[in-house]
């Protein structure tokens, strides 16, 4: 599991923290309730593989100069991750990978959103990509992030967003009590979401819950990105049900989906 080898006492101490126990129990209930979708992974991966294209080809066709900028950013982020996360891995602390952060940066620069909401932060690959791109846009854009720290780690909050540079944090609102609590707080403060990025609870139930919550803040101008759409058929079912324009991109051995006008480009 992501995190590190830890004693049961650490999990218990985290469970006793304010707000932690409720989210941890909900995670267990979600796994139980989501069993009916557990067998859809093969179908979801096959569906995604049939439609996937390289994000590099898509982005370079739309704006080659901007894609080159995104690639430079990605290289810098990989170097930063090696410097900040390498020593932690040697201690047994594993915070998970970063997804297609080059594409995240590109989309943010291209779409120039004023309000970005993401679920799932961990080390902060995507958060750094959003914030660095928003700063480059110079439009005063803000990032709102929802996360729940790895409860197998001692003092887990210290690791959330470790890759986010200090000078970028003034444009960042970070909440750490899980999507159910965090989205309620975020949506009370934002009237419209230009770009929504989902990379937290990978269950069908978790994805459906988050999308239902943010839907009132989305409109035809909004774009939505779901990571790891091969975990279950939620993304497939969503685009087939709504008829929304979409793209599927492969990243390593995983897939992500984009919904919005740019997907028609």
List pLDDT tens digits, range 219-258.
999 999 999 999 999 999 999 999 999 999 999 889 999 9
Q: How many domains does the chain have?
A: 1
**Is the per-residue pLDDT at 168 higher than 50?**
yes
Domain assignment of residue 117, yes or no: yes
Q: What is the pLDDT of residue 229?
A: 98
- We report the CATH number of the domain holding residue 34 as 3.40.50.150
**Is the per-residue pLDDT at 140 higher than 90?**
yes
Beta carbons within 8 Å of 196's beta carbon, 6+ residues apart: 116, 117, 118, 214, 218, 222, 223, 224, 225
Domain assignment of residue 216, yes or no: yes
pLDDT, tens only, 36-70: 666 789 999 999 999 999 999 999 999 999 999 99
For residue 140, give its domain range. 8-264
Beta carbons within 8 Å of 191's beta carbon, 6+ residues apart: 217
Domain assignment of residue 103, yes or no: yes
Domain assignment of residue 197, yes or no: yes
Domain assignment of residue 230, yes or no: yes
Looking at the whole model, is its pTM more than 0.85?
yes
Domain assignment of residue 59, yes or no: yes
Read off the pLDDT band of 73 (50, 70, 90).
very high
Domain assignment of residue 134, yes or no: yes
In degrees and rounded to multiples of 5, residue 261 shows phi and psi of: -60, -35
Domain assignment of residue 3, yes or no: no
Beta carbons within 8 Å of 64's beta carbon, 6+ residues apart: none
């Amino acid at each position: 599991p992501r995190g590190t080898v830890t004693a049961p006492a650490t999990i218990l101490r985290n469970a006793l923290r304010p707000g932690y126990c409720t989210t941890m129990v909900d995670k267990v209930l979600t796994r139980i309730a989501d069993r009916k979708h557990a067998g859809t992974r093969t179908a979801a991966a096959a569906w995604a593989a049939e439609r996937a294209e390289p994000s590099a080809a898509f982005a370079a066709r739309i704006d080659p100069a901007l894609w080159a900028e995104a690639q430079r950013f990605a290289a810098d982020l990989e170097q930063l991750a090696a410097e900040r996360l390498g020593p932690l891995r040697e201690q047994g602390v594993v915070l998970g990978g970063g997804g297609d952060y080059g594409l995240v940066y590109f989309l943010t620069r291209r779409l120039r959103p004023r309000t970005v909401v993401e679920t799932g932060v961990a080390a902060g690959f995507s958060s750094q990509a959003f914030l660095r791109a928003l700063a480059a846009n110079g439009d005063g854009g803000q990032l709102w992030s929802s996360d729940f720290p790895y409860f197998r780690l001692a003092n887990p909050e210290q690791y959330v967003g470790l890759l986010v540079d200090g000078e970028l944090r003034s444009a960042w609102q970070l909440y750490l009590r899980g999507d159910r609590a965090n989205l309620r707080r975020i949506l009370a403060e934002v009237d419209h979401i230009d770009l929504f990025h989902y990379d937290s609870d990978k269950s069908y139930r978790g994805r459906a819950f988050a999308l239902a919550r943010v839907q009132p803040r989305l409109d035809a101008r909004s774009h939505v990105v779901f990571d790891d759409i091969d975990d279950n058929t939620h993304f497939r079912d969503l685009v087939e049900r709504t008829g929304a324009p979409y793209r599927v991109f492969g990243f390593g051995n995983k897939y992500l989906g984009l919904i919005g006008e740019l997907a028609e480009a």
